[in-house]
Amino acid sequence: MAHLEDPIVTTETGDVRGRWRSRADARGTESVHATFRGIPFAAPPVGSLRFAAPAPVAAWDGERDAGEFGPTPQRESPYDPPRIPEPSIPGEDVLSVNVTTPDPSRGAGLPVLVWIHGGGFIAGSAASPWYVGESFARDGVVTATLSYRLGFEGFGCLEDAVPNRGVLDWIAGLEWIQRNIAAFGGDPERVTIAGQSAGGAAVMRLLTLPSAQHLFARALAISPADASVSRERAREAARAVAQSLGVSTNVAGMSSVDEIALFRALNAAVPAAEDPLEGLLHRSAQPLPFAPVVDGDVVPHGVTEGVIAGVGADKPVLIGATAHEFNESLAGATASMPQPDAARLLRHAGAPEGLAETMAAREPQRGTDWALGQAVSDGIFRAPVAGWAALRGSGPTWAYDFRWESRSDTVSGAAHCVDVPFGFDILGRDGVAQAVGDDPPQALADAVHADWLALVRDGAVDAPPHMPEHATITYGADGLRRVAPGYEVERRVWTEGLGRPLGS
């Protein structure tokens, strides 16, 4: 792209100089797009701002170089190796946005995809090469990725600090998008928020947050967990971390601890289970200790309560999960048992009689550990997807079920994260083969990407809405896309196993 001058865009705080880039897709079609990386949407959260709400960023003189990704909040990752590449970049200016656009000119009026990364609210990176969005640029969409504070800095509950700082970061980033994305060719009235795993949970949180409704028009929730934390649980987790560090649970105490030490202390908030199978079906009711806190203010209610109340009911939503999200998580759990019986163990874990037998009967050839892992997948991801999609009733909602299984030697089944490169249409990207194996079906990527694109561009997917017949887009193990009723067992897990309302 040497023949093109660097693109320059004027934001509310100054000019940014990006780069023209090009990349060919799997069919050889070249995407020419401009990227602007590491643009701050808030002041660096350091010093007195470390545990404060995001503050306005100072304007700059001249041009700010936006050629490379800026610093990331992630310092270390508990996932080794992570299934999605998660670059960690040192520095203080971590509250930033990265924009990829096919036409960086005001007035282009292109739809916008805002991506919120996953990582359990303690890891992940907006600088991942998987999230650049070159295939969306090829299709006339502006992509933006947001960085936000993670772990204790983002979600730790302190006596004298504003809670939900990570949530406030999402909101500040989306407010920046509303004020500035038109200068990059985007239409602020056609913003779709999207994310996977913790990012999907963030999407559902924002979708049901009354104060965020003006910031986006559509939502794409990929493998969203029901990750609300009560104020009491958040305070308990904060006390455990503070005690392990020998400091007080206030700003002064935690400010005396550096980022790495604080990150490494987070495990103190996760008590070890006496029985690895204990609470199997109820793990979604006991989420990660550092996640959005239901504080009655920034986050007034849980996601389910928000869905029932109709918050965000008018917004088009595409929601779904992979078939075997965390099925690998209990591999070897029954190795010491002489005759492990999946149905009996599921009943012991809390599944009602009848439901336990139904759950155990799925894919019995894959063994007891797989059946127990499927219950984990159901409790954390698949049952919430089924429940929320049904509870939205006549609201514009499409559900999907990604069932194509990875061909990688290190990944089993349609596991967590496997669907992401299909949706972004990046099967040839570095690191993708590690997750999906060799020769993944491009036709399936075409189908998944087309559904994401339809939501982002048109606000509707080429399929019947989920209700009233529970219509589900299935991306099958054979690589084909079909539509049929789905999530039957998961709805039972939601109502019978987790005791959550489903409505009519």
CA dist 88 and 331 (Å) reads 29
CB 374 within 8 A of CB 489: no
CB 292 within 8 A of CB 167: yes
Buried/exposed 321-332: b ≥16 CB within 10 Å, e otherwise? bbbbbbbbbbee
- For residue 363, give the nearest of 354, 349, 373, 355 by alpha carbon: 373
Active site residues: 197, 325, 416
Angle, to 10 degrees, between the axis of helix 198-207 and the axis of helix 165-180? Answer: 70
- SS3 at position 102: coil
Half-sphere exposure of 357 (CA within 13 A, CB side): 2
CA dist 27 and 31 (Å) reads 11
How far does the chain reach from its first CA to its final CA, in angstroms?
56
- SS3 at position 490: helix
Tokens linked to 162: 């504003």
Alpha-helical (H) ranges within 295-334 are 303-309
Strand 14-17's sheet: what is its strand order? 8-11, 14-17, 63-65
Angle at 455 between CA 452 and CA 456, to 5 degrees: 85
